Amino acid sequence: EAGVAQSPRYKIIEKRQSVAFWCNPISGHATLYWYQQILGQGPKLLIQFQNNGVVDDSQLPKDRFSAERLKGVDSTLKIQPAKLEDSAMYLCASSFRGGYSYNEQFFGPGTRLTVL
């Protein structure tokens, strides 16, 4: 079974630039999550999709971050414009079921973002 795929693996940009990350979840997983993990901290949930609908985006900084999952499969997370404090690992995860039960999540390898 293929795992969660993410690209790119690394990205370096200057502040005020835009960046986008892509995620393809495990086939058949209805729920997709985006996390931000700052070095030395635990992952912080940014947004959860159930199919193509948003379940929870309470911790997403909506003034600069956006995410979509138009066809209920793969997803993109965008930051526009980036700030220095956005430097982090961006992790995508998927689970077979979701909603507020937050079942076992399978994580991708992540995208390491550095903002200069």
- Torsion-angle region of residue 63: left (phi > 0), alpha (psi -120 to 50) or beta? alpha
Cβ proximity to another protein, 17 vs 89, nearer residue: 89
Cβ proximity to another protein, 22 vs 106, nearer residue: 106
Cβ proximity to another protein, 27 vs 58, nearer residue: 58
Cβ proximity to another protein, 12 vs 14, nearer residue: 12
Place of tokens 């138009």: 70
User: Minimal distance in Å, beta carbon 51 to another protein?
Assistant: 18
User: Minimal distance in Å, beta carbon 30 to another protein?
Assistant: 16
**Radius of gyration of the chain from its Cα atoms, rounded to whole angstroms:** 13
| Chain residues in the site for another protein (CB under 8 A) | 35, 41-45, 48, 56, 58-59, 91, 93, 100-110
Q: CB of 86 within 8 A of CB of 113? A: yes
Cα separation, 48 vs 12, in Å, equals 25
User: Minimal distance in Å, beta carbon 91 to another protein?
Assistant: 6
Q: Name beta bridge partners: 49.
A: 32, 54
User: Minimal distance in Å, beta carbon 26 to another protein?
Assistant: 12
